[in-house]
Amino acid sequence: MELDFLSAGFVSALFAIVLIDLVLAGDNALIIGLVARNLPKNTQRKVIFWGTFGAIAVRAVMAILVVYILDLPGFMLAGGLALVWIARKLLTPEEQGAQNHLVKGPATSFAGAIRTIVIADAVMGVDNVLAIGGAATGNVLLIVLGLAISVPIIVWGSQLVIRLVDRFPSIVLLGGAVLAWTGYSMVVREPLLGPWFEGHPATRLVAAILIFSISLAPWYTARMAEQTKPLVVILPGVLVWMLAFEIVASVWTLQMDYLRATETGEYVLEAARWLGWLPLVAAYLWLHERVMLRREHAARS
Amino acid sequence: MLLIRQSNRANNAVRTTSVGGELFVASVVICMILASFGDAVDPALFGEAGLEFAIFDFGGELSVLAMRHWHLLQLLVAGAVLGVGLAVLRVGAAAVVKALRPADRRAEEKVPIRL
């Protein structure tokens, strides 16, 4: 999709990239500090410089790769699904103790320190680069701008970002919603699925609600009462059920429109589509209830 | 590790965010889903009886179809407007409910009557 410089679409995509950079920024300064803490003072300065340089270089290479990879059939869908997972991970609170798993311990040599910093940044930056690639819709200028925004955050901006998200935690929620929206637009832009979505326009709405309900589940689960929490599984489950029937109908060219059904088999299929999920939901609720009761019993004894 | 994990409030954003912030994000998400609703309707369906639909668009369902081409910034502005509207509605509804609520039977005699 071509976006004119400073058009509404361009500015919107740039805003999405800034938001993604803010919420998915990795803590490189902490990792560099942890890795370099046992090295001599002279080597520490070199490690900070070359570590930062290596991290930026790795991010630039990944950004270039993402532009080409997302053009390949199937990768847009995979990227969109990965963004759904990233949005979920972003909104799920993490324990403070689980923070330094990327760094096993302080490095003892210059090469070891640089290697650890670069690998850690590559691991931390994959989600960021993928999300920027998705939000940029293939526009190279936007990807360069996204990189230009994320680099100062890597080098100097960490404290500013922490202060900002600490003051306005809703930025994180908004970031999760924008990631889900980007994931949805990547899934519907997938060249392999394009003709299918054209033929089944209603499935786009189902896909959008499915993606939002999965991505934002940690958010609304926190607001729900214990008895209504199974809805977090049931709603996406029913949407997947409906989508599966659409897919089966187009793969086996079955008649799925109840207004056009004429044979008994078609009516049975329709009944299975609209009512078949009810016994599954009932079985899930029964199982959920049993598990909850068992847990309660175990907690008491 | 993400920078937001360094801040306890941001790490736990689903619980620590303000009511206003949450309402704003929820409104933006509603607008995003409405925009995808515009994507989901085949425009050819309305080609034949476009005027008739436009006249009887009481529920605004057709107006929503225009959102299919909206960008993120437009969705954010729409979300903000929707959020403010919902907040005003909530305050108004709360005032109406409060006015309609009858006084406590035991306090009936103590209701001040101004002449």
> Does residue A3 form part of some domain?
no
Q: Which of B11, B17, B33 sits opposite A93 (nearest CB)?
A: B11
Taking the CA of residue B35 and the nearest CA in chain A, the distance in Å comes to 9
Higher pLDDT, B92 or B8: B92
User: Are residues B25 and A174, on separate chains, in Cβ contact within 8 Å?
Assistant: yes
Q: Based on the domain organization, do A174 and A212 belong to the same domain?
A: no
Give yes or no: residues A209 and A256 share one domain: yes
B-chain residues within 8 Å CB-CB of A153?
3
Classify residue A1: in a domain, yes or no.
Answer: no
Could you tell me if A20 and A169 lie in one domain?
A: yes
Number of helical H runs and strand E runs in chain A: 14, 0
Domain assignment present for A225: yes
The residue among A56 and A277 whose pLDDT is bigger is A277
| Residue B56, token pair as written in the block | 């009887």
Q: Per residue in A113-128, pLDDT tens?
A: 888 888 888 888 888 8
Query: What is the rounded CA–CA span in Å between residue B46 and residue A43?
Result: 70
Percent of chain A with pLDDT over 70: 92
State whether B73 and A218 contact (CB < 8 Å).
Answer: no
Q: Do A208 and A182 form a contact (C-beta atoms < 8 A)? A: no
For tokens 């108004």, what's the residue?
B92
Can you name the residues that pair with A26 across neighbouring β-strands?
B2
Question: Quick one: what percent of chain A has pLDDT higher than 90?
Answer: 20
Mutation target for B interface from A173, A182, A235: give the one with most B CBs within 10 A.
Answer: A173
Whether residues A202 and A269 fall in one domain? yes
Among partner residues A15, A124, A219, which is closest to B14 by beta-carbon distance? A219
Please enumerate, as own/partner, the contacts of A226-231 that have beta carbons within 8 Å and a separation of 24 or more.
A230/A284, A230/A285, A230/A288
DSSP state of A140: H
B82: closest CA of chain A, how far (Å): 15
CB-CB: which of B6, B16, B25 is closest to A27? B6
CB contact under 8 A, A188 and B14: no
| Token pair belonging to A298 | 């175990």
Give the gap in angstroms from C-alpha A64 to the nearest C-alpha of chain B.
22
In terms of pLDDT, which residue wins out, A283 or A18? Answer: A283
Burial of A96 (0-12, 13-18, 19+ CB in 10 A): exposed
Is A30 within the bounds of a domain?
yes
Contacts of B36 in chain A (CB under 8 A): 184, 204-205, 207-209
Q: Say if residue B9's pLDDT is above 80.
A: yes
Q: A201 and A176: one domain?
A: no
Asked whether residue A29 is domain-assigned, the answer is yes
Domain count, chain A: 2
H or E element that contains B47: helix B44-47
Q: Which of A9, A23, A158 sits opposite B71 (nearest CB)?
A: A9
**Same domain for A68 and A98?**
yes
Do residues A266 and A119 both lie within one domain?
no
User: Is residue A201 a part of any domain in this protein?
Assistant: yes
A8 contacts chain B (CB < 8 A): yes
Asked whether residue A2 is assigned to any structural domain, the reply reads no
Least confident of A77-86, A180-189, A198-207: A198-207
Residue A26: helix, strand or coil by DSSP? strand
Q: Can you tell me the mean pLDDT for A80-101? A: 80
Q: A28 and A124: one domain?
A: yes
Q: Are residues A26 and A160 in the same domain?
A: yes
pLDDT number for residue A143: 84
Percentage with pLDDT > 70 across chain B: 69
A224 and A158 housed in the same domain: no
Q: What is the pLDDT of residue A234?
A: 92
> Are A158 and A51 in a shared domain?
yes
Q: Among residues A181, A216, A242, which one ends one of the domains?
A: A181
B12 vs A174: CB contact, 8 Å cut-off?
no
**Which chain B residues contact residue A204 at CB under 8 A?**
36, 39-40
Q: At which of A123, A149, A181 does a domain end?
A: A181
């994990």: which residue's tokens?
B5
For A37, the domain range is 8-181
pLDDT tens digits, one per residue of B20-37: 999 999 999 999 988 888
Regarding predicted confidence, which is higher, A257 or A153? A153
The count of C-alpha atoms lying within 13 angstroms of the C-alpha of B87, restricted to the half-sphere facing its C-beta, is 14
Interface test with B, best of A172, A184, A216 (most B CBs within 10 A): A172
Q: Are A284 and A230 in contact (CB under 8 A)?
A: yes
For chain B, the maximum distance between any two Cα atoms, rounded to a whole number of angstroms, is 68
pLDDT category at B96 given cuts 50, 70, 90 is: very high
Please check whether residues A141 and A209 belong to one and the same domain.
no
Looking at every residue in chain B, the average pLDDT score rounds to 79
Closest residue of chain B to A123, computed from CA coordinates: B1
Which residue, of A151, A181, A211, is where some domain finishes? A181
